[in-house]
Amino acid sequence: MKRLIRWGLIAGLAGGGLISTSLLHKTPAIAIPEAEAVKRLETVPTFAVTDEKGTPVLASVPNPKDKSKKIQVATFFMSQTDAQKLVDNLKSQKPELGKSARVTLLSLRDAYEITKKNKDKQDQIIFQFLPTQEQVDFAKAILKQEGQEVKQFNGVPMFFATGGKEKGLLTIEQGQDKIIPFYFRKQDLQGMIDQLKKQKSPLSGTTKIQVTSLDRIVGSLLKAEDPSAKQITLIPARDALEYAAQKQKEKGGTPPAQPPASSEEKPESK
């Protein structure tokens, strides 16, 4: 199914702190009801390492506030491959723990709800969302091109595109629906831009990939007043979606929704 791509329709949002490429820029109060904001996290797969009962495998590290004490860390991986590597390491290095370890699929919404329920226990357990190193490297490279000194990227990078004279945000229009896509995987966004170039669209000459973080997007959605924020859609990595779809199929459940657009689909442009 073909999609229509247009630029510059969300110029106001593009200029706000919601997607600022500056890691030091404070997010402004730009409000979707929390239930609605969190609902859009349902289609994003995350992966945890658990035992056969579904209890997360925790790491014990020095408490950053008091290094004489320990604190438990629970990790949500954005990549099934990274989660599986941890399982393999546990099996080889800690066989007693590793023999029952497995990769457990859950949605980003589930992960968010878990962190929210335990936010009063931050002196006992902390939760981290771990992106792939490849996407972190892409994020750092983009920020360096912007002239920023970046030694590390905190959080999960999210990639988006701007274009046109007003540097408006990329929007995808299908029927009466219009979304602003933010990609977990830079290559998926690049595939969409490449399609525009193949069509020799005048838009392709002004497109630019930029990066923000998942924390910034979710945090801003929870206190956004700009109606354009309701159009923000998170586009998971295709390999994560395919893995999630296979697991759901094995369980007889409903597979997660597919991304609105991908490098295999030819977008239309005006």
Where do the domains of the chain lie, and which CATH numbers do they carry?
Answer: 4-39+132-269 (3.40.1350.100), 45-130 (no CATH)
pLDDT confidence bin for 44, thresholds 50/70/90 = very high
Assess whether pLDDT exceeds 60 at residue 31: no
Assess whether pLDDT exceeds 90 at residue 138: yes
- Closest alpha carbon to 97 in 46, 48, 52: 52
pLDDT of residue 253: 57
Assess whether pLDDT exceeds 60 at residue 231: yes
Q: H or E element: which one contains 56?
A: none
pLDDT confidence bin for 226, thresholds 50/70/90 = low
Assess whether pLDDT exceeds 90 at residue 91: yes
pLDDT tens digits for 149-200?
888 898 999 999 888 777 778 887 766 777 888 999 999 999 888 877 777 7
More confident residue, 256 or 210: 210
Pairing relationship of beta strands 102-107 and 45-50 according to DSSP bridges: antiparallel
DSSP-assigned beta bridge partners for residue 2: none
pLDDT of residue 32: 60
Query: What is the reported pTM?
Result: 0.81
- Closest alpha carbon to 72 in 130, 131, 121: 121
- Closest alpha carbon to 179 in 1, 6, 52: 6
Assess whether pLDDT exceeds 60 at residue 255: no
**Which residues are within 8 A (CB) of 127 and not within 5 positions of it... i.e. 6 or more apart?**
73, 74, 75, 76, 111, 114, 115, 118
Collapsing DSSP to helix, strand or coil, 36 comes out as: helix
Sign of the torsion formed by the C-alpha atoms of 44, 115, 63 and 56 = negative
More confident residue, 123 or 213: 213
pLDDT of residue 54: 87
Burial class (CB in 10 A: 0-12, 13-18, 19+), 119: exposed
